[in-house]
Amino acid sequence: MDIIKLYSRSSLLAIFCFIILLMLVVDSAFYYGINIIFSKMTITVKTKGSMPQVAELIERITMLQNVLRIYFIPVSTGLLLGSGLLLWLYLKSVLTKLVNRADSGIGKEKAPSAVQAADERRVKQQYDHRLFLHLLSVLQREGRLVDFFFENLNLHEDSQIGAAVRTIHENCRKAIQKYISLKAVIDRNEGDEVTVEKGFDPGAIKLTGNVIGEPPFTGTLRHKGWQVANLELPKLSGTGPLKTLYPAEVEIS
């Protein structure tokens, strides 16, 4: 609405100045014209009429001239100012309608964008959900990892568990390597003495023990850590949530 207020002030000033200029032109032309007309009328009456009639006509002409001079200025001023005011109000209403229409158009353009952004966020969340469960389903399909997690190990001997874990370990490792290539954060043997330099990444290196002062720090490597060297995400079909990690198997006899 600031543009409407700015236009209202500037347009009102412009119309007012134009009306004043027009009044000066009209009034000047009127006075100049009326003086010429009445002068010619007076000369004509004097040349063609008798003395009593001439005096009476000249008096009437003079009265009419004075009346026109007295009432013309306020009447013309009122008409011109009124016309200017009506013009200003009309232009203001037209501008207000145009601005409101433009604002409503912008609102309509933003609404689909907001809806589209919400849909994109929902689709991304569903994709992330499916991607996480897809990895778990791969580990179940290749290594029966979910079965192992929910198995009651108290019912089996340690030797049986060890043999099962060996198979699960190998199959799950192959499944992970199918999509992710990993490498050590610190490529040294665990137990070696390492130095953590200044400017290290706290997300990549976790300091434990007696951590005092500023780096560099010298300590014993307890875990070399893992970081992703290469990641190849699978192309998932569909957009809905993935609920079935691994289908139930029924053998028909």
DSSP type of residue 141? H
Residue with the bigger pLDDT between 38 and 221: it is: 221
Backbone dihedral region for residue 62 (phi beyond 0: left; psi -120 to 50: alpha; all else: beta): alpha
Q: φ, ψ for residue 92 (rounded to 5)?
A: -65, -40
Report the alpha-carbon distance of residue 143 to residue 54 in Å, rounded: 131
Supply the mean pLDDT for the chain.
79
Amino acid code (one letter) for 84: G
Q: Which amino acid is at 180?
A: I
pLDDT 10s digits, 97-121:
777 777 665 555 555 677 788 888 8
Q: What confidence tens digit (pLDDT) does each residue in 39-69 have?
A: 766 666 556 555 555 566 566 666 766 776 6
Assess contact for 226 and 185: CB atoms under 8 A: yes
Assessment of whether the complete model's pTM goes beyond 0.85? no
Q: How confident is the model at residue 142 (pLDDT cuts 50, 70, 90)?
A: confident
pLDDT tier, 195 (very low <50, low <70, confident <90, very high otherwise): very high
